Amino acid sequence: MANILNSQNKDQTFDNGSLKIHDNLISTPTGFIQVANISRVYVAKLPMQSYIIGIIALLIGLIICSGRNAMVLGIIVAAIGIAILYFTYQKNQANKYGLFIELNSGNSLIFPSGETEFLYKAGDFLANIIEGKLYAQNYSIQFTDNSIHDVNGAVVKGGSIERMITHASK
């Protein structure tokens, strides 16, 4: 498991991520954070992915196409550039907002979601834990299905904990 506190990356984005909270520790897909190391939690627009690699590949492909001997190679490189541009555009259009967890080190953990309302609820939930208003015995914030669960099967909705009824099969 990578140590996110000593990571060379200033920002780490976790697509389809989850946070698991147990007492004073929050685990991410790449490591653990002590709640005391969190300096700020907020919802903001995600940083846009750069189009530069796709543009460069497209231009190189067009330059190669201008030569007679390597036209097929140029078309392939240009097609790769177009594909990179397309996928970058798609990624920039989806999940425009994310929950940012800023650490005392200056690094940020980013959890994208298409549901900004859920991101605000998750941010409030983490703020309550940081402020000591909520004891975080065992919780999980799932960004894939936009839910907050505790180990006993409760779901946090609107700041209050609602118990889920589970039935065991006989």
Inside any domain, residue 168: no
Q: Which residues contact 14 (CB under 8 A, 6 or more apart)?
A: 28, 29, 30, 109, 110, 111, 112, 143
118 and 69 in one domain?
Answer: no
Residue 153: is its pLDDT beyond 90?
Answer: no
Question: What pLDDT, on the 0 to 100 scale, is given for residue 112?
Answer: 86
153 and 104 in one domain?
Answer: yes
Q: With both helix axes pointing from N to C terminus, report the angle between 71-93 and 52-65 in degrees, rounded to the nearest 10.
A: 160
115 and 38 in one domain?
Answer: yes
Residue 71, token pair as written in the block:
């036209």
62 and 32 in one domain?
Answer: no
As a whole number of angstroms, the distance between CA 5 and CA 155 comes to 30
Please, which pLDDT band fits residue 9 given cuts at 50, 70 and 90? low
Question: What pLDDT, on the 0 to 100 scale, is given for residue 5?
Answer: 44
Please state the domain count of the chain: 2
Residue 168: is its pLDDT beyond 80?
Answer: no
Residue-wise over 56-74: b if at least 16 C-beta within 10 A, else e?
Answer: ebbeebeebbeeeeeeeeb
Residue 40: is its pLDDT beyond 80?
Answer: yes
Q: For residue 80, what are the domain limits?
A: 52-93
Question: Which residue has 């979601």 as its token pair?
Answer: 113
- Strand segments (E) across the chain: 11-13, 18-22, 25-28, 31-34, 38-45, 97-103, 108-113, 139-142, 147-150, 155-157, 160-162
CATH number, domain at 138? 2.30.29
